[in-house]
Structure 1
Amino acid sequence: MPEIHETATLTSKGQLTLPKPIRQVLGVDTGAKVAFDLRGGEVIVSRADAEHEDPAIGAFLGLLEADIRAGRHVQALPEDLARAMLASAGRTVNLDEDIEGDVAL
């Protein structure tokens, strides 16, 4: 992520306008959620939905939430699948990268 230094003025209502270069880098627009984390005296600003950028994961999480709200029983993931998911968490994926090996559809 590029290094950017911008300033903003706090209004009497405690509101800030995120400077345009910051909004562009974060990929946020009107109505987007922004998260603020205080770490050692510094405020870290990030997209609130940054961890769910993959539309397939977002759709899956939406279905899961609907099942939970409807009171449907959600079964635990198989242990090997859960381990594989945790091992992959936080890893960036290049969707244009060639797939190695055979793929069964």
Structure 2
Amino acid sequence: MATTVTSKGQVTIPKPVREHLGIVPGSKVEFRCAADGSIVIEKADTSESSRFAKLVGIVGPGLSTDEIMAITRGD
């Protein structure tokens, strides 16, 4: 499969390749050089892309609005 490089250096990943790799809009991809000199494209593992992503959902439900209001009002 061939594709054309735009003046900005962009290419369109052919649909069969996107489907095979599970690439959807917003997905990140990685390019790496293989030992034989070829270039490999892979769907990036974004599970550790953000140090904050690991923290999502670990704090718990937190205080209710009524509890927060009682604290701020001094009730």
Q: Smaller-chain TM-score range?
A: 0.5 to 0.7
The unaligned stretches of length 5 or more in structure 2 are: 48-52, 59-75
Partner of 2:68: none
- Are 1:23 and 2:18 counterparts? yes
Partner of 2:50: none
Name the amino acid aligned to 1:8.
T
- Are 1:7 and 2:2 counterparts? yes
Residue 38 of structure 1 and its aligned partner are, at CA, apart by: 1.2
Name the amino acid aligned to 1:45.
I
TM-score by length of 2: 0.58
Alignment coverage as a number of residue pairs: 50
Distance in 2, matches of 1:49 and 1:16, equals 21
Query: Larger radius of gyration, structure 1 or 2?
Result: 2
SS at match of 1:44: strand
TM-score by length of 1: 0.42
Task: For CA contacts below 8 A with separation 6 or more, give which structure has more relative contact order.
Answer: 2
Q: What's the RMSD between the two structures over aligned residues? A: 2.1
Residue 18 of structure 1 and its aligned partner are, at CA, apart by: 0.2
- How do 1:1-105 and structure 2 match up within 5 A? 6-39=1-34, 40-49=36-45, 52=47, 62-63=54-55
The C-alpha deviation readout for 1:27-67, integer Å capped at 9, x for no partner, is: 011110000001232110000027x5xxxxxxxx713xx9x
The unaligned stretches of length 5 or more in structure 1 are: 1-5, 53-60, 67-105
- Which runs of structure 1 show a deviation greater than 3 angstroms over 4 or more consecutive aligned residues? none
- Aligned-pair identity in percent equals 42
